[in-house]
């Protein structure tokens, strides 16, 4: 008699860890081979071994958006994604927005409109605002409010962020860093 389990696909998942495992993260256009424990979040990998401290960890629960980065162009909370789950996807951090020694227009607008306050939420807000601008070069106030709605700013700089983004939206041509 034939064993029925012989033809069934394997349901056993591969187990990684508990020790460090090799991965490659594609960050800001460069490949970075790393050894990380499977429990390491993307935010921890960026800040720790890669030294990209622009990404902030505040709540560590995905609720405040301070750790926002782009994953294949989409804004994500990097504290809620394990580094080993990223795979081949491309990561852009706040450090990756500047190009050729020049700040991204959103970074410049935040400075010009005093939208940085203590600066802890700023990188995540800039990442969300830059993603909005890439999608819609002339957003209105409602779209801007939606883009920053998941961000917790303890200083209350939301009006300055909205002013900065509206100033960018009023520009005829917007350079996208």
For 39-50, what is each residue's pLDDT tens digit?
Answer: 999 999 999 999
Name all contacts of 22-29 with Cβ < 8 Å and 24+ positions apart.
Answer: 23/83, 23/84, 23/86, 25/50, 25/83, 25/86, 25/91, 26/88, 26/89, 26/90, 26/91, 27/52, 27/91, 27/92, 27/93, 27/96, 28/52, 28/91, 28/92, 28/93, 28/95, 28/96, 29/90, 29/96
Cβ density class 56-82: b for 16+ within 10 Å, e for less: bbbeeebebbbbbbbbeeebbbbbebb
The mean pLDDT of 100-121, rounded to a whole number, is 93
Instruction: Report helix angle 105-112 to 122-135, nearest 10.
Output: 130
The mean pLDDT of 23-27, rounded to a whole number, is 98
For residue 177, pLDDT over 50 is answered with: no
The mean pLDDT of 56-80, rounded to a whole number, is 95
The two tokens of residue 72 are: 């294949």
For residue 113, pLDDT over 80 is answered with: yes
pLDDT for the residue numbered 5: 54
Percent of residues, the chain, with pLDDT higher than 70: 89
More confident residue, 3 or 101: 101
DSSP letter at 102 equals B
Nearest-angstrom CA–CA distance, 14 and 37: 15
Q: Residue 144, exposed/middle/buried by CB under 10 A (0-12, 13-18, 19+)?
A: buried
The two tokens of residue 125 are: 């807000």
pLDDT for the residue numbered 7: 56
The mean pLDDT of 124-149, rounded to a whole number, is 96
Question: Band of the pLDDT at 14, cuts 50, 70, 90?
Answer: confident
Average pLDDT, the chain: 90
pLDDT for the residue numbered 85: 96
Q: Which domains does the chain have, with CATH numbers?
A: 21-95 (3.10.20.30), 98-169 (1.10.150.120)
More confident residue, 134 or 14: 134
β pairing state of 90-92 and 68-71: antiparallel
């Amino acid at each position: 008699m034939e064993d029925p389990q012989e033809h069934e696909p394997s349901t056993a998942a591969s187990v990684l860890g508990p020790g460090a495992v090799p991965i490659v993260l594609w960050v800001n256009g460069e490949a970075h081979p790393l050894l990380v424990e499977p429990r390491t979040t993307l935010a921890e990998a960026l800040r720790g071994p890669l030294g990209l401290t622009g990404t902030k960890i505040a709540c560590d629960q995905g609720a405040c958006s301070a750790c926002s980065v782009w994953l294949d162009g989409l804004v994500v909370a990097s504290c809620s994604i394990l580094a080993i789950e990223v795979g081949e996807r491309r990561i852009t951090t706040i450090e990756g927005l500047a190009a050729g020694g020049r700040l991204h227009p959103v970074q410049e607008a935040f400075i010009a409109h005093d939208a940085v306050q203590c600066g802890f939420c700023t990188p995540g807000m800039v990442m969300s605002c830059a993603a909005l601008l890439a999608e819609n070069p002339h957003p209105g106030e409602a779209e801007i409010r939606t883009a920053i709605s998941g961000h917790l700013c303890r200083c209350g700089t939301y009006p300055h962020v909205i002013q900065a983004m509206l100033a960018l939206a009023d520009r005829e041509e917007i350079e996208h860093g």
